[in-house]
Amino acid sequence: MPEKCSRYTRIDGETRIDLDRFLSHIAIAGPDDCWEWTGYRKPSGYGWRSNTPGKARWAFAHRLAYFLHFKVDPGELCVLHKCDNPPCCNPNHLFLGDRDANNKDRMRKGRGNRWLNRRHPNKKVDLVVGNEIRKRWDNGEKQRLIALDLNLSISTVNRAVRGVI
Ligand SMILES: [Zn+2]
C-alpha cells in the first residue's frame, strides 16, 4: 500500500464543486503553460473551499483540477507537479504519485530540507543543533566561536554551515 499523502484532502460526492467559480480562480493559458491558481491560498498550500452547506471542506486546487480533468479521485495519493510550480493547475502538468514519490520528487528538485537530506548522518550534529549553527552563522557569528560555544570541531560547524551534514 502506498503511504498516505500528507496533503491528502478528500474529494467525494458531498463536495459540491461550482465549476465556474473554481475555473474563475485559475489563470488558464496555453496547453503547455502553467495555469496558476489565483484564489485564496492556505498557509499550507493552495486551497479551494467547497460551498457545500454546513460543510467547510478544503481541497487543494491542483488536486481538484486533477480530479475534474481526469475524473479520477486522487484519494490517498499525491498530485505532483511536472513543472515544479505549486500553484499550477494545468492538468497536463499534474501526475499521481505516493508520498514516497513526492518526497523523492522534492529532493530531486532541490526543495527538500537540506538538513534532512544530508548524505552522511553525523552523530554530533542533529537537526536542532544544525539549525542553531546556521542561524548563528547567518547572524554573523564566527564559525570558530560557534564551535567553541557548542563544543564542536570547526570542521563540523563548517560542514553544518555548508549544509553537507
Ligand atoms: Zn505547470
- 36 and 77 co-located in one domain: yes
Report how far ligand 1's centroid is from the alpha carbon of 51 (Å): 26
- Tell me, yes or no, whether 100 lies in a domain: yes
> Are 58 and 42 spatial neighbours (Cβ–Cβ below 8 Å)?
yes
136 is in which domain, residue-wise? 114-165
- Say if residue 97 is in the same domain as residue 45: yes
pTM given for the model? 0.55
Q: Which of these three, 61, 88, 108, is where a domain ends? A: 108
How many angstroms separate the CA atoms of 9 and 25, rounded? Answer: 19
Cβ atoms within 10 A of the Cβ of 101, count? 17
Report CA(93)–ligand 1 centroid distance (Å). Answer: 5
Query: Is 9 within a domain?
Result: no
C-alpha cell, 153: 570541531
Q: How far apart are CA 25 and CA 160, in angstroms?
A: 42
- With respect to residue 131, please indicate whether it lies within any of the assigned structural domains: yes
Rounded to whole angstroms, the Cα distance separating 9 from 76 reads: 8
54 and 101 both lie in a single domain: yes
Q: What is the CA radius of gyration of the chain?
A: 21
89 and 135 share a domain? no
Asked whether 48 and 25 are in contact (CB, 8 A), the reply is yes
- Alpha carbons within 13 A on the beta-carbon side of 111: 10
**How many whole angstroms separate alpha carbon 58 and alpha carbon 10?**
8
Kindly report, residue by residue over 116-157, the tens digit of the pLDDT. Answer: 434 444 445 677 788 888 888 888 888 888 888 877 888 888
- 65 and 141 assigned to the same domain: no
Residues 95 and 44 occupy one common structural domain: yes
Write out the residues surrounding ion ligand 1, Cβ under 5 A.
34, 83, 85, 88, 90, 93
| Domains: count for the chain | 2
CATH assignment of the domain containing 25: 3.90.75
55 domain-assigned: yes
CA of 2 to the centre of ligand 1 (A): 25
**Are 134 and 150 in a shared domain?**
yes
Q: How far is the CA of 94 from the centre of ligand 1 (A)?
A: 8
Q: Are residues 165 and 123 in the same domain?
A: yes
28 domain-assigned: yes
101 and 134: one domain?
A: no
**Digitized pLDDT (tens) for each residue of the chain, 165 residues in all:** 444 554 445 555 545 567 788 889 999 999 999 999 988 877 666 777 666 665 556 678 898 898 888 888 787 888 888 998 888 999 999 999 876 776 666 666 655 544 443 444 444 567 778 888 888 888 888 888 888 887 788 888 888 888 776
Indicate whether 50 and 96 sit together in one domain.
yes
